[in-house]
Amino acid sequence: MTNSMGTLFRITTWGESHGPALGCVIDGCPAGLPLDRTDLESALQRDVPDRLIGTPRGEMNRCEILSGVFAGRTIGTPISLIVWNNDARPASYDSARDTLRPGHADFTWLARFGHTDYRGGARASGRECIARLAAGAVAMKLAEMVGVRFSSRPIEMAGKTIAGEDDYELARAEILKHAEAGDSTGGIVALTIRGMPPGIGAPVFGKLQADLGRALLSIGGIKACEFGEGLAAARARGSTHNDPFHFGSDGQIETTTNLCGGLLGGISTGQDITIRLVVKPTPTIRIPQQTVHVGQKEPVTMRYEGRFDANYTPRVGPIAEAMAALVLVDHLIMSGLLPPTRLRDSAPGSP
Ligand SMILES: Cc1cc2nc3c(=O)[nH]c(=O)nc-3n(C[C@H](O)[C@H](O)[C@H](O)COP(=O)(O)O)c2cc1C
C-alpha cells in the first residue's frame, strides 16, 4: 500500500470514508512551529465551500492533535492528527452491495485486494482527502514562513467557463440541472503557487513538476495535470513558447512571460508555478448504469439512491493546494531554505 509521501517532510495518512475517523502522521516537521487545532479546523472548513453541489455529507470536521505539539508549538516529534467522521451513512450503500460502481475503484480494488468496500470506497473515497487537508495546513504554515503562498479556483465546471462570480452561478445552475436528473459533472481547477524562490527542485528523477504531478494526480478523480501553457505547448513553436529572460528591478534574472509555469528543468524559476487540473465527473450517480453483480455473476442495472457530490471541482482546489504545499515544503527543506530540525526562534521543551 502507498499511504506515505515525502522524503524529509513525510506524511502517512490513514482511515476510511465510513470508519470512525481519518487522520495522518507528519514526520519531519521542524520544532518551534506555532500550531493548534484551530489552524487545522479552519483549513478543514475549506472542504465544504458549497454544500449543495460539493458534498451533501454534514461533517463537522473536528480535529485533534494527538502528538508532536506542546504548549502550542511543534516539538520535532511525529505529529499525529485525527479527524472524526460524524456523518458516515454506510447503510445508504446497501443497495449497491456486491455491485461494481462504473467509474469508481470498486472493480480495481477487487482485482488487487480481493475485496471492495461497498460503503463509499473506503480509501478510494473523496473523504480520504480530509487527512491531506490537515497535513497540508501544517505544510502551508511552514511554506508561508519563506513567503510561499497557494491559491486555487475552479475555472470551468459542467462545461461552463468561470471568469467571475456570475459565471460561477451559471455553472452552478448547470450542475444542479444535471444533479436533479441524477447525473454528475466535472471541471477544471487552476492552482497558483506564488513567492517560490528560484532554484528549488532537482533535475532528472527529482523534478519538481514530477513530484507535484505525482501528488496532484493522486487526488481521486484527477485525470490530467497541466503546467504553464500545458497541452497548448504541443501546438506552439519554440519562438512563441520560450519565455525570454531580462533583468528585474533588483538586477535579478526573470522571465518576461511565464508559459513554462514557473518550472524549467524540474527547478523553480522564481515566477508563479501555474497548474491546471482536470476533474472527472463524480462516478456514483443516480442514473441507472449497466454493471455486474459480483456474487451472482450476472449483469445488473445499478440503481443507486444514496448521496453523491454533484460536482466536487470546488473541493479539489484546497486539496490541490495542500498537496502542493506538502511537496514544496519537502523540497524547501531538502534545498536548505527551511531547516530540517528546528526553527530559529524555537525553544523545544520549554515553549
Ligand atoms: C473531494 C472529492 C470528492 C469526491 N466525491 C465523490 C462522490 O461523492 N462520489 C464518487 O463516486 N466519487 C467521488 N470522488 C471521486 C472518487 O474518489 C474517484 O473517482 C475514485 O477514487 C476513483 O479514482 P480515479 O477517478 O482517480 O480513478 C470524489 C473525489 C474527491 C477528490
**Is a pLDDT exceeding 90 seen at residue 150?**
yes
**Is a pLDDT exceeding 60 seen at residue 336?**
yes
pLDDT at position 59, please?
A: 75
pLDDT at position 53, please?
A: 77
Average pLDDT, the chain: 92
CA 110 to ligand 1 center in whole angstroms? 17
Query: Using one digit for the tens of pLDDT, what is the confidence trace for 56-101?
Result: 667 788 899 999 999 999 999 999 999 999 876 666 666 677 899 9
Query: Which residues are CB-neighbours of 260 under 8 A, at least 6 positions away?
Result: 227, 228, 229, 243, 269
- Pocket perturbation via mutation, ligand 1, pick of 44, 93, 104, 222 by most ligand atoms within 8 A of CB: 104
CA 220 to ligand 1 center in whole angstroms? 5
Coil vs helix vs strand at 309: coil
- Across the range 290-296, mean pLDDT stands at 93
CB 184 within 8 A of CB 221: no
Q: Looking up cell 480495481, which residue turns up?
A: 108
CA 286 to ligand 1 center in whole angstroms? 15
pLDDT at position 47, please?
A: 86
pLDDT at position 124, please?
A: 87
pLDDT at position 88, please?
A: 66
Q: Rounded CA gap, 51 and 31, in Å?
A: 37
CB 286 within 8 A of CB 182: yes
CB 11 within 8 A of CB 68: no
CB 333 within 8 A of CB 28: yes
Read off φ and ψ for residue 4, nearest 5 degrees. -120, 155
Angle subtended at Cα 330 by Cα 333 and Cα 146, rounded to the nearest 5 degrees: 55
Q: For 213-250, give the DSSP string.
A: HHHHHTSTTEEEEEETTGGGGGG--HHHHS--EEE-TT
- Across the range 105-124, mean pLDDT stands at 86
CB 130 within 8 A of CB 61: yes
| pLDDT confidence band for 351 (50 / 70 / 90) | very low
CB 48 within 8 A of CB 319: no
121 or 204: whose pLDDT is higher?
A: 204
Nearest to 263 by CA among 323, 317, 191: 191
pLDDT at position 333, please?
A: 97
| pLDDT confidence band for 347 (50 / 70 / 90) | low
Q: Looking up cell 538586477, which residue turns up?
A: 251
Query: Using one digit for the tens of pLDDT, what is the confidence trace for 18-43?
Result: 889 999 999 999 999 999 999 999 99
Please indicate, yes or no, whether the overall pTM of this predicted structure exceeds 0.75. Answer: yes
Q: Rounded CA gap, 138 and 343, in Å?
A: 14
* Alpha-carbon distance values, 146 to 22, 199, 291, 337 (Å): 30, 14, 51, 8
CB 281 within 8 A of CB 186: yes
- Across the range 244-263, mean pLDDT stands at 97
Query: Using one digit for the tens of pLDDT, what is the confidence trace for 183-221?
Result: 999 999 999 999 999 999 999 999 999 999 999 999 999
Coil vs helix vs strand at 346: coil
At position 286, the amino acid (one-letter code) is R
- Pocket perturbation via mutation, ligand 1, pick of 125, 184, 323 by most ligand atoms within 8 A of CB: 125
Question: Residues with Cβ within 6 A of ligand 1?
Answer: 104-105, 121, 124-126, 129, 219-221, 280, 282-284, 308-309, 312, 315-316, 319
pLDDT at position 350, please?
A: 47
At position 2, the amino acid (one-letter code) is T
* Alpha-carbon distance values, 227 to 58, 191, 320 (Å): 34, 10, 13
pLDDT at position 66, please?
A: 97
pLDDT at position 198, please?
A: 97
CA 78 to ligand 1 center in whole angstroms? 29
Q: Rounded CA gap, 122 and 24, in Å?
A: 15
CB 24 within 8 A of CB 11: yes
